[in-house]
Amino acid sequence: MKKPLASSFLQLLLYMRPFRRIYLSATLYSFLNKLFDLMPEILLGIAVNTVVAREQSWLANLGFCDLKIQLILLGLMTMVAYGLESLSEYLFSIRWWNLAQIVQHNFRMQAFEHVQKSTITSFSKQKTGNLLSILNDDINQLERFLEEGIDKIIEVIGTSIFVGSIFFFLAPQIAIFVVIPIPIIIYSTFRFQKKLSPYYLNIREKAGLVGAFLANSLLGLLATKSLVAEQLEKKKLEKASMAYKDASFNAIRWGALLVPIIRFVILSGILVTLIYGGKLTIEQKLDVGVYSILIFLTQRLLWPFTEIADIMINFQRVMASTQRLLNLFELPTENSPDNIVPIKGRITFDDVSFSYHNHTPSLHNLTFATEPGQHIAFVGATGAGKSTLLHLLLGFYLPTSGKIFFDNKEIRELSLPGLRKQLGFVSQEPFLFEGTIAENISYGYVEATPEQIIEAAKNAAAHEFIMRLPEGYDTIIGERGQNLSGGQKQRLAIARAIVRNPTILILDEATSSVDNATELAIQRSLSKIGQGRTMILIAHRLSMVKHADKIFVLKKGSIAEQGTHEELLQHDNVYANLWKLQMGETLTHPELIID
């Protein structure tokens, strides 16, 4: 995954290609600005030449013999130089700032969209906090780099080129000594940069881990409090934070070495100009004005170069961020053919096996089929693979072997968003979003009318409790629906699944947190709204599934038995024993349901 710095930068440029007009003109104005920035030094040299050489000065040679006019001219040129410098600074600043804003916005949107499209397998390998830190911090680093950092790099390059050229033009014999240090500095910086690169990637990774830990820990704050594990969490944060600190420290230690070295190398250039240039001037081989310009300019060279360490460090940091961001775009995405096919509700599993991350298989050779409009149920011990089966049905994961068909189309050939639009899924752990109740019910189906929302809530036995809330359907339910009880959340999740009038309704333990009376109410309305649509039910409470057309008993990822409630009761097998257990009767074969 590790890429060299230059390649990250090239990739960044490639990414910014659509905005190249902005960054090319910004680069041009930045360069011009560095040129205008050197003008005052040159004008100072001309001023020295004017007052020392008077009638033989450069200005006099150009035809401006009057000393007064010479001074006025100098003043005017200084004003023009400063004016141009300010103007070019304004022009490059707004362009870089513009680019920074466009790029950060586009990068964030595209990265977010990519994460949304990524497969659950690749997504679940990422830590949420780390993704957060990429989408926030790393993009902000890039934004700051474009706003300020890149101009600093141009300053180093531009100043070296301009100062070097002026030196060669005015005094080639000194120029050699001043220009020689430049490649030495650049070489040593590159050597350092190679050394620093992994340190900075390490810093970004450690920062990501801190973010990941914080996000996770804050989500579990209630559990931490109830288990009095505050100290433990603090220690974990301390560990992550210290790792970040150490990573930064390592990088700073090396980075800080660079400045003194560079200063020393530049000093040699200044000394040569001062001493050798002074000697030439005394021997009248060099004009006093030229000597002044050279002295001023070597100083000007020193300034950006002492900053080169910071610039490099910043560049490292930003490229590490860019690399993390670009790596995000390499997460595999769900295949999504564009063919949104309406489905009728026939589901076929053909010898489907599945294992998560190459672990022991969670599903073994499942083969079954439902007709459109049939209601089927899956029961079985916890960990038997019921939710896994539904995750395959929703296309969250692809089977390790075997095939899943909707009508006669294999799931791989279908557009997953297109398919999911036709499925109403209530997951075992429903997730509600910050917002009102109505917004949560119509989530993903914004075209729902208020009447449809109320109808769905009634069918989910939720209307009454909603009406008792202070703001009714406009009540805000807080982050993740934290202002609601478990059973209330489940009923909203059911309403959300049925409001979209799905062809296939899938309920995974959707009533596990409601009381028996509410469950009965939900069951009744489900049998009404379930008419004419395929329904897949998963429930531990068998009363929920006993009316299904077909019940499958899953055991360790395989179908152990199947049939209607009555048929299954006739065999003294897993289902019959589970039923007896729930009815409070004596078990004939407890070993069938207890491992």
Ligand X SMILES: Nc1ncnc2c1ncn2[C@@H]1O[C@H](COP(=O)(O)OP(=O)(O)OP(=O)(O)O)[C@@H](O)[C@H]1O
Residues of this chain that interact with ligand X (CB under 6 A) are: 356, 362, 380, 382-388, 428
- Closer to ligand X at the Cβ: 188 or 427? 427
Q: How far is the CB of 378 from ligand X (least distance, A)?
A: 8
Given CA atoms 349, 353, 357, 362 in this order, what sign does their dihedral have?
Answer: positive
- Closer to Mg ion at the Cβ: 362 or 459? 362
Q: How far is the CB of 564 from Mg ion (least distance, A)?
A: 23
Q: With contact defined as beta carbons under 8 Å apart, do 559 and 529 qualify?
A: no
Q: Provide the binding-site residues for Mg ion, judged by CB under 5 A.
A: 387, 428
Which tokens go with 275? Answer: 């001493």
Closest CA to 276 of 171, 168, 185: 171
Sheet holding 347-354, edge to edge: 363-370, 347-354, 401-406, 409-410
Q: What is the C-alpha to C-alpha distance for residues 132 and 547, in angstroms, rounded to an integer? A: 45
**Residue 424, SS3?**
strand
- Closer to Mg ion at the Cβ: 50 or 362? 362
- Closer to Mg ion at the Cβ: 466 or 505? 505
Closest CA to 399 of 423, 363, 369: 363
- Closer to Mg ion at the Cβ: 327 or 428? 428
Q: How far is the CB of 214 from ligand X (least distance, A)?
A: 23
- Closer to ligand X at the Cβ: 248 or 543? 543
Closest CA to 302 of 276, 336, 266, 332: 266
Q: Which amino acid is at 563?
A: G
Find which of Mg ion, ligand X, none residue 475 binds, CB within 5 to 8 Å per kind. Answer: none
- Closer to ligand X at the Cβ: 298 or 388? 388
**What element of type H or E holds 429?**
none
Q: How far is the CB of 201 from ligand X (least distance, A)?
A: 28
Q: What is the C-alpha to C-alpha distance for residues 559 and 369, in angstroms, rounded to an integer? A: 13
Q: With contact defined as beta carbons under 8 Å apart, do 381 and 595 qualify?
A: yes
Q: How far is the CB of 338 from ligand X (least distance, A)?
A: 29
Rounding to the nearest 10 degrees, give the CA dihedral for residues 564, 567, 568, 571: -170
How far does Cα 92 stand from its chain's mean position?
29
Q: How far is the CB of 113 from ligand X (least distance, A)?
A: 23
Q: How far is the CB of 421 from ligand X (least distance, A)?
A: 24
Q: How far is the CB of 125 from ligand X (least distance, A)?
A: 10
* CA-only gyration radius of the chain, Å: 36
- Closer to ligand X at the Cβ: 34 or 555? 555
Q: How far is the CB of 25 from Mg ion (least distance, A)?
A: 58
- Closer to ligand X at the Cβ: 276 or 356? 356
Find which of ligand X, Mg ion, none residue 488 binds, CB within 5 to 8 Å per kind. Answer: none
Which tokens go with 588? Answer: 């004939």
Find which of ligand X, Mg ion, none residue 362 binds, CB within 5 to 8 Å per kind. Answer: ligand X
Find which of ligand X, Mg ion, none residue 9 binds, CB within 5 to 8 Å per kind. Answer: none
Helix axes 150-170, 288-306, angle to 10 degrees: 160
Q: What is the C-alpha to C-alpha distance for residues 372 and 347, in angstroms, rounded to an integer? A: 8
Which tokens go with 227? Answer: 């288990």
